Amino acid sequence: MSDYQDLYIEKFNPNNSKQYKYKDKWLDAQIMPETIKVRGSEDRVIKIVTTIHGPVIEGQPKDGTAITLKYTALEPNNLNAKSIRSMLSVDNVEHMDQAMEHWVDPCNNFVFADIGGSIRYLNRGKIPIRPEENIWLPVPGWTGEQEWNGFIDHQDLPRIVNPHEGFIVTANQKIVDADYPHLLSLDYAPGYRAQLIYDQIKDLTNATFEDMRAVHAERHSIPAITYCNLLNTVESPNEIFSEIKQRLIDWDGLMDTNLIEPTIYSAMRICLNKKLAEQNLGSLAKDALNAAGRGIPGHMRQLEALFVTHAQSDDRTLLPKNLDWPSIVRDSLSEALSWLSDWLGDDISVWTWGKVHVTRPIHTLSAAFPDLSNTLNPPSVAIGGDGDTPHAGFFGPSDPFNIMSTSVARYFFDLSNWEDSKWIVPLGASGHPGSKHYADQMKLWSQTELIPMFYDWDIVRSNSITWQDLKPDSDRGNK
């Protein structure tokens, strides 16, 4: 969750768009032609314009201004490949840490262990040192005042070495406190998932595979419990509301596919977030609530987490003046019940989480080849959890409750016997839509099952269905 990309606003010469301003001088931009092959059409030639900060990604130099991207992976002498090669031959966690010295991108949470019993966490990657303003907004590129001042030294990156607790928990939550001397990011995942993982592990001794699978499968929601507890003090306007209210109060926050409570809670929270966004964002609320992708929904997630924190402490700063937290939750629940009735019908027994909380993966090429979309698009499955649970299934406000972010893989490693290790991915081991292994792990993945991960070459070969021997051209003779 580190920030290592900046946007710069560049001023280009109105008399010569090949030049840009930097510290009161006009510098020549680097212009590189790129040829794009287009299926069924002529080649397209585009020109990549680059300043000292990076390539232009928005705007046109001929118009006088444009935005460039400064990004560690675009810096010269990128040694990521060196780190990858080194990783393949390390003997222990200390050597692995050293192998990460030249790792550039992505910056991420890296956890590793060795058969000697050592465990370690490293926030690996190349992270620039620069003014805090760079992280918030695009900054002027022509002044020279917002430049990077080197990178955080490898030995100064955040790390955890053999903690006394005997375990490490990382779920994209904030990993440093106010004493850390460098600014890593403004954007972290809320701590709910990390807290639930911690609670699962803290009392374990001699952890088993089933213990670890239970961590992957954890589907209780901390925000759900927070909001539903607020219903204890509200009056019910009718009998149906009273029944639903009591069900939510008695519910333990388990976001399971066969339950109706997760659906009702999630609809209530969407209505609540909408009210609070409109209250606090004004004219920007519509864009914030309707945006798709990974940008604005990520900002909304931060805001939604702040709402939960305020509800827990009864901070009414962000509420309309005539409402307290129980009353706005009550109004949101009333709206949610009306919405769900119109959408799913009056029979609440069919409002199960698995009916609405589903994946709908879309292949990049399915829009270009609609006749093949059924083959290209992997099957849809229902999964439990949501964006606040270790068994992740995040959805944005613009498209409830279609899942847009999940666990991309799950692993269980047994360092005492590598052959007992297991794994699973959301789709399958093949990226070819025509392969039977394109999506054959989907159902198992949705149910938090894992499959064997073999290491010994003889065991791999004996369990394989097919294999290919890849040899250099020199071994092929005249074939």
For residues 43 and 146, membership in a common domain is answered with no
In terms of DSSP bridges, do strands 5-13 and 139-140 run parallel, antiparallel, or are they unpaired?
parallel
Which residue pairs, CB below 8 angstroms and at least 24 apart, start in 17-21?
A: 17/60, 17/61, 17/62, 18/61, 20/51, 20/61, 20/141, 20/142, 21/142
Q: What is the CATH number of the domain that holds 316?
A: 1.10.1400.10
What order of strands is seen across the sheet that includes strand 451-452? 410-412, 422-424, 451-452
Same domain, 179 and 225: no
Please indicate, yes or no, whether residues 177 and 251 belong to a single structural domain of this protein.
Answer: no
Whole-angstrom distance, CA of residue 38 vs CA of residue 324? 58
Cα–Cα distances in angstroms (integers) from residue 267 to residues 101, 133, 263, 272, 340, in the given order? 46, 36, 6, 9, 8
Q: What CATH number should be reported for the domain holding residue 39?
A: 2.30.120.10
Same domain for 351 and 208: yes
Domain ends where: 382, 407, 432?
A: 407
Name beta bridge partners: 26: 21
Asked if residue 360 lies in contact with residue 396, where contact means CB atoms within 8 angstroms, the answer is: no
User: Are 389 and 465 contained in the same domain?
Assistant: no
Q: Spell out a b/e string for 127-155, using b for 16 or more CB atoms within 10 Å of the CB, else e.
A: bbebeeebbeebbebbeeebbbeebbebe
What pLDDT score does 272 carry? 97
- Same domain, yes or no: 471 and 347: no
119 and 266 both lie in a single domain: no
* Same structural domain, 362 and 276: yes
User: Where does a domain end: 407, 425, 457?
Assistant: 407
* CATH code assigned at 109: 3.60.20.10
Residue 370 shares a structural domain with residue 418? no
Residues 235 and 379 in one domain: yes
The domain boundary residue, chosen from 39, 54, 74: 74
| Neighbour count for residue 379 (Cβ, 10 Å) | 13
Q: What is the pLDDT of residue 479?
A: 46
Given a contact cutoff of 8 angstroms between Cβ atoms, the answer to whether 45 and 55 are in contact is: no
State the residue range of the domain holding 351. Answer: 190-407
Q: How many CA atoms lie within 13 A of 385 on its CB side?
A: 27
Q: What is the pLDDT along the chain (479 residues), one digit of tens a residue?
A: 899 999 999 999 999 999 999 999 999 999 999 999 998 999 999 999 999 999 999 999 999 999 999 999 998 888 888 999 999 999 999 999 999 999 999 999 999 999 999 999 999 999 999 999 999 999 999 999 999 999 999 999 999 999 999 999 999 999 999 999 999 998 899 999 999 999 999 999 889 999 999 999 999 999 999 999 999 999 999 999 999 999 999 999 999 999 999 999 999 999 999 999 999 999 999 988 888 777 777 788 899 999 999 999 999 999 999 899 999 999 999 999 999 999 999 999 999 999 999 999 999 999 999 999 999 999 999 999 999 999 999 998 888 999 988 988 999 999 999 999 999 999 998 999 999 999 999 999 999 999 999 999 999 999 988 888 888 887 555 54
Round to whole Å and give the CA distance between 71 and 65: 20
285-318 burial, b if ≥16 CB within 10 A, otherwise e? beebbebeeeebbeebbeebbbbbebbeeeeeee
How many independent structural domains does the chain possess? 4
Before 241, cis peptide (omega within 30)? no
Within 13 Å and on the Cβ side, how many CA atoms surround 465?
Answer: 2
**Which runs of consecutive H residues, i.e. helices, occur in 202-238?**
209-216, 222-229
Asked whether 137 and 9 are in contact (CB, 8 A), the reply is: no
CA-closest candidate to residue 228, choices 206, 241, 216, 246 = 246
Whether residues 279 and 295 fall in one domain: yes
Q: Are residues 205 and 328 in the same domain?
A: yes
